[in-house]
Structure 1
């Protein structure tokens, strides 16, 4: 039996990591080789690989990703709230560049007001989706006995998927500014926009497809969208009055 102790907390080691503080057991002296290999390249690869894997899982298996996270399989993913903030930042940046390079448009006063309204309240509009989805999901899928916090995770994954698609849409729109390929990329942009609207439905369907019959799941998802539509209208109307 090894009597090696953790150099961080002094507890005895029985594996690759300290069971008390989580530090790696192989904390040998730092050399130029270990600094480049482990601390610099290793850290960058670990963060990037984890980040892009999380994005891929959210985009292509959103419901399964949410259910995995709820069931305790969390080490493979970045914190979802941190991902939200990162993706929202990327969306703001990509939209800024699109507006900068897009041809100037002459808009009517009404259209300009609506555009300014959504620009001003974009954060509120996006992040209010999470509690709306969570509460509605909790009420509609109550038989499954998930608590409100667990539905919050499903809603967060839904919004993450929407933000990923919005980011892709901005990138496609930027490429589509080149006129020889603009028609193709405008068509792709419309498909991505449609998927962003459907993404919560895809997430809930993927998460609960083994728990309900297809007709049962279909009417629940449709009910979810009806409630979301009514609530969104009320919230937008209230915000527009403030605006």
Structure 2
């Protein structure tokens, strides 16, 4: 007899006859990540609305349950972030929203480039977020691929919020409001990251979770800076 990791029902065979989950839901590893990417490119299934709902009701708990094996009903996380990034990109280019500031110094140019290509940036930096969280919360028994899944769900949260803000900025047609909105989005991003971490790492006190979340974000910024500098030097980009 197998005990279902999703609903707790005991059954025989390859799938739970109560909820349909597979009997084998092994630990997330590199093979799992590859299958998730492959599935995201070639297939789509149900579960987007369920996953999005969970990400804004109880994000940390839902992601932790997913990593531990409770996966029925969810859209695969890497597939989800790819779909949401595509939707963001389509809306951004179809509405031609102007998110660019008028400053011309090098740091602002880089910042503007990130804002303009946010949908690529957020996907590309998921491994860096995974590494920074892995380092900051290293005392917990999760491997790096599991942190990739964790950060993929969190990236989906931010993409949804940024997509909603695109329509607001589009109708506002005001550069000052655009700058204000981008600053608000930054605060919302940090708040979502911290809130999700507090729930996911519920063994820690709220204070410790906040401190480690700040540490994780600082590490992420350093990693992004190092990678960005490396790309500029290797490709000899003029900024």
- TM bracket, shorter-chain basis: 0.5 to 0.7
* Counterpart pick for 2:133 among 137, 141, 155: 137
Of the three residues 170, 185, 192, the one matched with 1:199 is 192
Determine the structure 2 residue equivalent to 1:149: 145
Partner of 1:88: 85
Residue 159 of structure 1 aligns with which residue?
155
> CA–CA distance in 1 between the matches of 2:134 and 2:215?
12
* TM-score when normalising by structure 2: 0.67
Specify the SS of the correspondent of 2:219: helix
Q: CA separation in 2, counterparts of 1:53 and 1:217?
A: 26
Q: Which residue of 1 aligns with 2:228?
A: 236
Q: Identify, as 1 or 2, the structure richer in helix.
A: 1
Find the aligned partners of 2:72 and 2:88 in 1 and give their Cα distance. 26
Structure 2 Cα separation of the partners of residues 58 and 215 of structure 1: 22
Contact 1:59 1:164 in 2 (8 A): no
> 2: distance between equivalents of 1:225 and 1:96?
29
TM-score by length of 1: 0.66
Is 1:172 the equivalent of 2:165?
no
Q: 1:54 aligns with which of 40, 51, 56?
A: 51
Task: Give CA-to-partner distance per residue, 1:97-134, whole Å, 9 cap, x none.
Answer: 3326x59x894655895477437865653223221222
Larger radius of gyration: 1
> How much has 1:82 moved relative to structure 2?
1.3
